[in-house]
């Protein structure tokens, strides 16, 4: 592979295209690495791509979605075994891989539009919705509903420790949506007033449970206890081949920044970035593949990896 700093390329995309998902940025970085690749065999290429994936997974940007996006990207572009076997040399293989990669990235970039279409009737007039932290998909769906003239109210958790909920509230108000920022500790208090919970996700586990900003588990669990539906708006490239037993079994690489893990510091002194919500507390997944029950994630991943 030619001299190419995949980390710098990835960070540049994140910095200059703020609306782009880190997973999409990671796929684009892998595509650029593929274009500049100087491998002479498919096996050599695959090994280099794995190294590139591992490099991106060690960045301090949404490790969960980057890991899932990279894994699905590499799986998809190498699925064309029959095509690759017919190639006379690796230059021909590279063309096939590039073509499949470009098609996959384009399809994934359209995910949010597909989620918007599939959730077009989700928000109704007069609804009161609770959301946690900041989600590009949740924001897009709410903004589209407001654009269509629907009147609804949103409660947004402050979402400590980075107060991402306050940024979400600013964006919602910018879209003309009535919203109120609440303390994370006030979720139980306002749950009685809401009609539904809408969340994004950093990743969706094989059993349909979600990994998302710390506090999501609290919100979804309380909603379940109060018989309030929990809708998760998420792209299929965030589907993960893991089934956590509980929050304690989540990989440390998901829970903490790579810089913290590599510093040798005690991770118990650091605030976890994400938590795990069991599938029984999720009502439906609104994805680019359609509106899915949590059980459908397993079927999709089995088809992809077998």
Residue range 203-237, pLDDT digits in tens:
999 999 999 999 999 999 999 999 999 999 999 99
Q: What is the pTM of this model?
A: 0.88
Q: What percent of the chain has pLDDT over 90?
A: 55
Please give the pLDDT value at position 255: 78
Q: Which residue has the higher pLDDT, 96 or 137?
A: 137
DSSP one-letter string for 183-211? -GGGHHHHHTT-SEEEE--SEE-TTS-EE
Dihedral sign for Cα 235, 237, 240, 241, please: positive
DSSP one-letter string for 31-65? HHHHHT---SSHHHHHHHHHHHHHHHHTSSS-HHH
pLDDT beyond 50 at 1: no
pLDDT, one tens digit per residue, over 243-273 is 998 888 888 888 776 666 566 566 565 678 8
Please give the pLDDT value at position 98: 86
Tell me the three state secondary structure of residue 217: helix
Please give the pLDDT value at position 2: 46
pLDDT, one tens digit per residue, over 4-16 is 889 899 999 988 8
Asked if 157 and 133 touch (Cβ cutoff 8 Å), the reply is yes
Q: What is the mean pLDDT of residues 151-160?
A: 96
Asked if 219 and 196 touch (Cβ cutoff 8 Å), the reply is no
- Residue ranges and CATH numbers for the domains of the chain are 6-109 (1.20.120.1070), 113-305 (3.40.50.10470)
- For the chain, what is the mean pLDDT? 89
pLDDT, one tens digit per residue, over 175-193 is 999 999 999 999 999 999 9
CA distance 178 to 31: 41
Please give the pLDDT value at position 75: 84
Asked if 55 and 67 touch (Cβ cutoff 8 Å), the reply is no
């Amino acid at each position: 592979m030619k001299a190419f700093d995949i980390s710098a390329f990835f960070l540049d995309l994140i910095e200059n295209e703020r609306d782009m998902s880190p997973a999409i940025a990671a796929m684009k970085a892998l595509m650029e690495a593929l274009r500049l690749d100087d491998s002479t065999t498919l096996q050599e290429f695959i090994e280099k791509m794995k190294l590139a994936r591992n490099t991106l997974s060690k960045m301090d940007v949404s490790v969960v979605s980057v890991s899932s996006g990279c894994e699905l990207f590499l799986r998809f572009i190498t699925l064309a075994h029959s095509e690759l076997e017919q190639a006379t040399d690796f230059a021909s293989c590279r063309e096939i891989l590039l073509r499949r990669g470009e098609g996959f990235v384009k399809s994934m970039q359209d995910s949010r539009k597909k989620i918007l279409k599939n959730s077009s009737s989700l928000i109704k007039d007069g609804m009161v919705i609770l959301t946690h932290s900041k989600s590009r998909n949740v924001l897009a769906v709410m903004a589209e509903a407001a654009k269509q003239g629907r009147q609804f109210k949103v409660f947004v958790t402050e979402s400590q420790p980075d107060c991402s909920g306050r940024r979400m509230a600013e964006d919602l108000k910018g879209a003309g949506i009535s919203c109120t920022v609440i303390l994370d500790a006030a979720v139980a208090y306002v749950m009685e007033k809401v009609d539904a919970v809408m969340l994004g996700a950093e990743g969706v586990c094989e059993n349909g449970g979600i990994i998302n900003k710390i506090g999501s588990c609290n919100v979804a669990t309380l909603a379940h206890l109060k018989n309030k539906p929990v809708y998760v708006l998420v792209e299929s490239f965030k589907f993960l081949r893991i089934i956590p037993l509980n929050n304690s079994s989540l990989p440390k690489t998901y829970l903490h920044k790579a810089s913290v893990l590599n510093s040798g510091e005690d991770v118990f002194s650091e605030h976890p970035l994400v938590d795990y919500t069991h599938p029984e507390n999720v009502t439906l997944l609104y994805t680019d593949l359609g509106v899915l029950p949590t059980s459908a994630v397993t079927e999709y991943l089995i088809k992809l990896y077998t």
